Amino acid sequence: MIKIGCLDFPRLSLAPLAGISDLPFRMLNRSYGCRFAFTEMVSARSLTYQSRQTIRMVSTACADRPLGIQLLAEDGDVLQRALAMLSENVYEMVNLNAACPVEKVTKKGEGAALMKNPSKLASLLRVMARNSSLPVTVKIRSGWEEKSVNARDVALYAQDAGVHGVFIHGRTREQRYAGAVDYGVIRRIKEALDIPVIASGDALSPPLIKRMFDETGCDGVTIARGALGNPWIFRETETFLETGEIPSRPALQELMQVMTSHLDMCCDFYGGTAGTTLFRKFYSWYTKGLPGVKPLRETAFHASTREQMVRLIRQVEEAAASAGPGGSLSPTAPGTR
Ligand SMILES: Cc1cc2nc3c(=O)[nH]c(=O)nc-3n(C[C@H](O)[C@H](O)[C@H](O)COP(=O)(O)O)c2cc1C
């Protein structure tokens, strides 16, 4: 365990994923070994309005612990008001997003735009450090673009502002989610900082996660796309880090059970139609790389009732069996399949 402020934080955590890391997704990953999860990013301003959508985005349950909340902000007063609304009994950490590359966010001066304005970022972090009794962390990128990679300086500013840990996605805003991860910049941050450094980027399989630890010396890795349709990644990675062995992938039966419980959780949380619609993308992620399922995936994108989706889940085994030998998932994570 790593100490982030007063919090015991595991070396593997579930990263914030907008539109994905809702309560059902977090709970499913927790039941397969995830020991710390984040909400998706929420706007501090929307939090102060308490809109229905925002309340749903940050809603949680007793078993959904420990949990970090991630905020988007560019205004210190709004941030302070949002922090005042967070119950200390619900979240264990508050994280400021200075990494989101989406235009809609950056044009407001939020997310990765803060990489271009380190003094503004530092002032927001000081507001957080002063007004939160929870451990405060920040998520940054390696820089705005290739010619302005400044993550080490930004991380030092953040440390001086009083944050307890730095999360770093080793890509620039310009790269979005593609292209090579800059392991060197993460290593330089780790060497410069006294507080924990948690790395992000291509954490898609146990060997890639080990590579992140080995090449950067980071204290922890936060898993994002590697967990899509793949809650097994947490235990598989722990085993790989301890023994060098990758456990065999789950059998199709287990995959189908997990898909069904995830679907049920989505339907309980959002209602049958909305839950099924939301699950469509998960159907695709869970079945990625399986032989013979392409037509099922296409059909799943039109499923609108739980019963239709359950039928499509049941057909996975038959489709995979008639397409050829198999019976278990491919040995790599979805992002690498
Ligand atoms: C669909 C999607 C949504 C994301 N949403 C967030 C978010 O809300 N907050 C955040 O800090 N990062 C977000 N990220 C970035 C991830 O947390 C992670 O840093 C990034 O995907 C790099 O890790 P990976 O290459 O292992 O996926 C998102 C990424 C994706 C693909």
* Distance of CA 220 from the midpoint of ligand 1 (Å): 16
Q: Evaluate if residue 122 carries a pLDDT over 60.
A: yes
For the Cβ of 202 lying below 6 angstroms from any atom of ligand 1, the answer is yes
Going from the N-terminus, what domains does the chain have, and what CATH number goes with each? 2-243 (3.20.20.70), 252-323 (1.10.1200)
For the Cβ of 74 lying below 6 angstroms from any atom of ligand 1, the answer is no
Reported pTM: 0.95
Which of the residues 6, 62, 100, 266 is marked catalytic? 100
* Distance of CA 309 from the midpoint of ligand 1 (Å): 27
Contacts of the segment 274-283: beta carbons below 8 A, 24+ positions apart: 275/306, 276/303, 276/304, 276/305, 276/306, 276/308, 276/309, 277/304, 279/309, 280/309, 282/228, 282/229, 283/259, 283/309, 283/312, 283/313
Q: Evaluate if residue 331 carries a pLDDT over 90.
A: no
For the Cβ of 99 lying below 6 angstroms from any atom of ligand 1, the answer is yes
Question: What pLDDT shows up at residue 131?
Answer: 95
SS3 at position 193: coil
Mean pLDDT along residues 192-201: 98
Question: What pLDDT shows up at residue 325?
Answer: 60
Q: Evaluate if residue 275 carries a pLDDT over 50.
A: yes
Q: Evaluate if residue 117 carries a pLDDT over 70.
A: yes
For the Cβ of 297 lying below 6 angstroms from any atom of ligand 1, the answer is no
Question: Are β-strands 7-9 and 2-4 bridged in parallel, bridged antiparallel, or unpaired?
Answer: antiparallel
The closest residue, in CA terms, to atom 23 on ligand 1 is: 201
Q: Which residues contact 58 (CB under 8 A, 6 or more apart)?
A: 39, 42, 47, 69
The closest residue, in CA terms, to atom 21 on ligand 1 is: 224
* Distance of CA 273 from the midpoint of ligand 1 (Å): 26
Sign of the four-CA dihedral 196, 41, 22, 223: negative
Confidence of residue 181 (pLDDT cuts 50, 70, 90): very high
Q: Which of 12, 13, 17, 210 to mutate to test the pocket of ligand 1 (most atoms within 8 A of CB)?
A: 17
SS3 at position 330: coil
Question: For the segment 153-180, what is each residue's pLDDT rounded down to a tens digit?
Answer: 999 999 999 999 999 999 999 999 999 9
Active site residue 100: yes
Question: What pLDDT shows up at residue 87?
Answer: 72
Question: For the segment 206-243, what is each residue's pLDDT rounded down to a tens digit?
Answer: 999 999 999 999 999 999 999 999 999 999 999 999 99
* Distance of CA 15 from the midpoint of ligand 1 (Å): 7
